[in-house]
Amino acid sequence: MSALIYTGTVQLITGIPTMGLDKTLNHQENHWHSQTVGHVFSQTKSGITGLDDQQALERLSEFGPNKLAASKPTNAVFLFFKQFHNVLLYVLMISAVVTALLGLMIDTAVILGVLIINACIGYLQEEKAEKALLAIRKLLLPYAMAFRNSHWQQIASDQLVPGDIVRVKSGDKVAADIRLIQCHNLRVQEAILTGESFDIEKDPQPVLESIPIGERTCMAFSGTLVTYGQGLGVVVATGHATEIGKISESLKKIKPVTTPLLRKMTEFGRWLAGTTLSIGGVIFLFGTLVRGYSFPEMFLATVSLIVAAIPEGLPVVLTITMAIGVGRMAKKNAIIRHLPAVETLGSVTVICSDKTGTLTRSELTAQKLITASHEFDVQGSGYIPIGAIQDTHKKQASLTQDQELFQFIMAGLLCNDASIQKRDLTWDIQGDSMEGALLVLGMKADMDPEMIRKKFPRTDLIPFESENRFMATLNHSHQGEGYIFIKGAPETILKMCAYQLQDSKLVAINHDYWRGNIENLALQGLRTLALAQKSTSVQKTTLLFTDIQSEMILLGVVGFLDPPRESAYEAVQICHDAGIYIKMITGDHLKTAKTIADKLNLTSSKAVLSGEELAQLTDVGLLEVAEKVDVFARTTAHHKLRLVKALQKRGDIVAMTGDGVNDAPALKQADIGIAMGIKGTEAAKEAATMVLTDDKFSTIVSAVKEGRTVYDNLKKNIMFALPTSGGEALTIIAAILMGYTLPITPVQILWVNMVTAVTLGMALAFAKTEPDVMQRPPRDPKNPIISGFLVWRVIFVSLLIVTAVFGIYIWERRLGTDLATARTVAVNMLVGCEIVYLVNCQRIHQTILNTKQIFSSLPILVAIGIVSLVQVLFTYTAPMQFLFDTSPVTVNSWLRTFALAAVVFLLVELEKVSVAKLKTLALRSFKWNWTKNS
């Protein structure tokens, strides 16, 4: 083995045939991890002598290059025009056509400008959306070491083919899926593929066919990182046939999920367009046939009715509202990649969270120390070397008084190949994560690893071997002392120990004590490691296996865990208060996953479901399990994708968080995918719709809060736009039905729409967060965007507006005011009603009269000021009078306008109070009847 790995000479391995190579390979999918090495060679038509150039060329032609083929890019022109495929934008386009027919080219130009700007924004966003596949392709190494033509040579990784013999060493990224045939202390970090937070020890022995990817110890997968040792293997899958390739293929099949708001707005837009056109047709016929209006007059009136009824400014305002929310989130370390996703956050009902790097720090930490006399808790988490070491009575440990603890920590620093380095504000570990955690432990005890290593330099070592499960070092002090230190699997180390260090004395080892503590640590989901030592002579310079087989002194056992982020505790509680369920979906072990879930109070359920159990469920069975189980462990990319789909099928709005390649399909499938920005892979970031720049789960809570605020503001905009449009439309309808001259002309209707629809509505995009935003349950995604309450509010306010506008118009005419002036007053009345209703809309349900918010919003005050100034120009300037047929109005007319506007404002506030009281009475009645019947 050593000769093959270190010198490059090829030896025939007993039982492994050197076979002739056929021109074709077996295309069936093989469970390589469950087959013997000999069978793998048989299936791949290969052998230990590898391939020659001709054989490799034939296989390259058959299987293709070892890379993920780039998908055909979408035509730029098609992608641009695709942005117009939206019902709300159809409304804008219809409005543009209508204004063009009316000869209002300025209005037409404004609407077309909005359409083009919106399309450009969407185009730039979608151009980045499919970069997930490109990010995955970058995971393949440019070069690999392969045994070709009877000697080792470096070849481009895209030239690797099934049957190639390759070798990997520490620091390499694996270039293809490899069935290992020899390992020398080989450990591989597979977090990007499996979510497993620990390095995986590799062993060439086959495993069970049903074993999950994270436990296929005889395999090394494409894109994973070798952290320790060396290995030799045969390539069994390349390109799209690799595990990463399968993820890439699954990403292609996933269709982007439209957001709840856009789905509802699409339905509403169709309904509104159909209803408005129908009413317009009926009114046109009634006006011409019954009231005797001329065809041109009714045509213009009908067109103005359609323009008035359709809130063409609403899509623009919704876009601006979402854009403002995106800006706020960016300041809170949440980057939204697709604009509509911002409102989706406000309706999330379930967060499917990866564990490693999301809820946890992805930094292994020593948390428990067991010596023969004491048990210690280690404070602090991650690689930051800050934290107290305390006994069970919360007393600070003292290395000067506790010889057992001192020897234990020193052994962990000396029997160690890792290094730790501070970079800026972070600490980085080079080498095995568990060894790095021992260095951090030593620094928490105020011991300098480098200083200790200089005092006790290493003379020899027995490196870690998977089959031995321990590492041993021989160290000497400058005072002539010799020591042997050993660390490894507790069950292995226990067999070597005859003594334990207890109260600074050597006593016979108590196996029951240690086995009980080791089992207890395992039940807590902790990974365990034992350390031992013994003295030796200063003359000894070579460390042999016989030196450590017996008479060792057990120093203690340490328990490791990738700890939860401190901010995750509060974040989880806030999610629970907000009615948001959290599902942990991880590739880690069941016990570890349950431990983290319990620490975070993530679930009240005791059940933890494994990926293997999940795979056996039908889609129907998974629907029930997806609701009841909160922790899923040992999951693969396919399992995560199935879970997200199952939750969506139940009607949930699903957010999926993750950082690895294995998370990418589920991130793309979810209603909103959330990737980690620091430790997340590019594949995860590009598949997601939101990226956290600080990798904190708590940032998701801030984003959800902002998302709910955005949705509230969107609803406020809808609540503002529909009644004002309804009031305008009803004014025209009422005039035609009663045979009156139109109180507002079609051109004046367009003026009001142009001035107020975007200006006033946009101010609501800056509305402040409602106090109870995170105490409400998520809105039911099945509920229509136009609720029964909203229908009532639209009808109520529309009637108030049409009453005020028509009333003041009739009032002015009866006072002898000429038609142009009366219409000018009516237009100002309409604008005045919209202004006061804008102030009402700052709160949807609660009255604004008893809060400080009535005049606290600067954007609303600015919008009112701008609209008021423009209306003064509309009323008194000659160009406006010429264009819109307006006339100056008297002070008394303004006073009547202000008075009616104030009445409208007070009536809306009275409606809020009345509705709130009715709800309270109904709730009390329901509770009383329920109690009585009970």
SS3 36: coil
Catalytic residue among 158, 164, 199, 354: 354
Contacts 24+ apart (CB under 8 A), 389-393: 389/444, 389/445
Q: How many CA atoms lie within 13 A of 587 on its CB side?
A: 30
Strands 552-561 and 497-502, by their bridges, are parallel
Query: How many Cβ atoms sit within 10 Å of the Cβ of residue 512?
Result: 8
Q: How far apart are CA 367 and CA 521, in angstroms?
A: 10
Outline where DSSP puts E strands in 631-689.
631-633, 654-658, 672-676
Q: How far apart are CA 842 and CA 307, in angstroms?
A: 26
Measured CA to CA in angstroms, residue 397 lies from 364, 378, 381, 531, 878 at distances of 22, 10, 18, 19, 88
With residue 405 as reference, give the H or E element that holds it: helix 403-414
Close Cβ partners of 500 (under 8 Å, ≥ 6 residues apart): 372, 506, 507, 508, 509, 510, 514, 553, 554, 555
Residue 34, Cβ density class (10 Å: 0-12 exposed, 13-18 middle, ≥19 buried): middle
**Residue 107 falls in the annotated catalytic set:** no
Which residue is it, tokens 């058959």?
A: 62
Residue burial 228-252, b: 16+ Cβ < 10 Å; e: rest:
bbbbbbbbbbbbbbbbbbbbbebbe
Q: What is the 3-state secondary structure (H, E, C) of 257-325?
A: CCCHHHHHHHHHHHHHHHHHHHHHHHHHHHHHHCCCCCHHHHHHHHHHHHHHHCCCCHHHHHHHHHHHH
Contact 144, 175 (CB under 8 A): yes
Which token pair is 41?
């060679």
Close Cβ partners of 184 (under 8 Å, ≥ 6 residues apart): 1, 2, 5, 229, 230, 231, 465
Q: How far apart are CA 521 and CA 527, in angstroms?
A: 8
Q: How far apart are CA 661 and CA 248, in angstroms?
A: 9
Closest Cα partner for 201 from 175, 227, 178? Answer: 227
Which residue is it, tokens 């930051």?
A: 384
Which token pair is 158?
């895209």
Q: Is the dihedral of CA 657, 660, 666, 671 positive or negative?
A: positive
Which token pair is 535?
């003295």
Strands 165-169 and 143-148, by their bridges, are antiparallel
Q: Is the dihedral of CA 85, 255, 190, 236 positive or negative?
A: negative
Closest Cα partner for 364 from 480, 528, 544? Answer: 528
Close Cβ partners of 619 (under 8 Å, ≥ 6 residues apart): 642, 646
Angle at 670 between CA 669 and CA 672, to 5 degrees: 130
What residue type is assigned to position 305 of the chain? L
- The angle, 0 to 180 degrees and rounded to 10, between the axes of the packed helices 314-331 and 697-738 is 160
Contact 418, 429 (CB under 8 A): yes
- The angle, 0 to 180 degrees and rounded to 10, between the axes of the packed helices 746-756 and 697-738 is 170
What residue type is assigned to position 901 of the chain? A
Closest Cα partner for 338 from 827, 830, 675? Answer: 675
- Catalytic residue positions? 354
